[in-house]
Amino acid sequence: MNKNIISSKNSDDAVEDTVGVFIVVPAFNEEKTVGSIVEELAKRGYKIVIVDDGSVDRTYEIVKGSKSKYPDNVFILHHPVNRGLGAALKTGMIFSLLKGADYVVTFDADGQHAFEDVKNVCLPLKLGNAQVVIGARPFEDMPTTKRFANNMMNFMTFFFYKIKVKDSQSGLRAFKSEVIPKLNILSRGYGVSSEFIKEIHKNHLELEEVTIKTIYTDETQNKGTNIFVGMKILFKMIIDVLK
């Protein structure tokens, strides 16, 4: 398995080719950010698969409005109840394959990712250098508690799955469509991030990591992997290994 770290700065001049790229956006109670994210991605020409994971706020109504503006680019899937991040990603990725995606990108709905990084994580796939790309966040820019939790998860992911990555919990990833059926994703929650790493290793997929930008706001700091979430994921890893 080849794994390289390349900087997004090195690919800023790449042409934003959106053909065949489907972006899966899982959303649970993201009314503050989801509309602007979906519409900006659609404006750039991407196909957006928004998975409303049982939201109880206005997320679903907002993305319906976004679809009315970009009817050919936005697809809405709806879980009647909250099933978790892993389940939402799986729903969106399977749907993307059915729609003929060549590349599938996962993109958080809370506003932490830079739109131009979609191009950057797709580039190694299009050049034939990788089958999976993970967008690696600079940990030095990360709030202290999140940095600790993510470093812990990187170590535990390596300990259990024997694959070293810079950012095992990143929500920005890109896959060649043909590898997705090989991924046996069972986790419904945040443990899906480590499960992706496990499946990449198990299936001997070519992986690259690309340095991405991260936008920290009150919303993004309150979500994602913290120490509590990290401990829950660790417990699930231990159970999986002991099975």
Q: How many domains are there within the chain?
A: 1
pLDDT in tens, 58-108: 999 999 999 999 999 999 999 999 999 999 999 999 999 999 999 999 999
Tell me if residue 216 falls in helix, strand or coil.
coil
Q: Enumerate the β-bridge partners of residue 77.
A: 51
Residues 109 and 114: their CA atoms lie apart, in Å, by: 11
d(C-alpha 124, C-alpha 49), whole Å: 22
At 230, is the pLDDT very low, low, confident or very high (cuts 50, 70, 90)?
Answer: low
How do strand 207-211 and strand 5-7 relate by DSSP bridges? parallel
Beta bridge partners of 11: none
Span 100-149, pLDDT tens digits: 999 999 999 999 999 999 999 999 999 999 999 999 998 887 778 778 88
The two tokens of residue 218 are: 């009150």
Q: What is the pLDDT of residues 5-54, one digit of tens each?
A: 444 444 444 447 999 999 999 999 999 999 999 999 999 999 999 999 99
d(CA 123, CA 121): 6
What CATH number is attached to the domain comprising 222? 3.90.550.10
**Residues sharing a CB contact under 8 Å with residue 178, sequence separation 6 or more, in sequence order:** none
pLDDT (tens digit per residue) in 173-184: 999 999 999 999
What is the per-residue DSSP string for 149-170? Answer: HHHHHHHHHHHHH----S-TT-
* 230 compared with 48, residue with greater pLDDT: 48
Instruction: Report which of 101, 111, 114, 57 is spatially closest to residue 75, judged by C-alpha positions.
Output: 101
Q: Which two tokens stand for residue 203?
A: 């299936």
Range of the domain at 33: 5-242
Q: What is the pTM of this model?
A: 0.84
Closest by CA position to 115, among listed 223, 40, 35: 40
Separation between Cα atoms, residue 14 and residue 23, nearest integer Å: 18
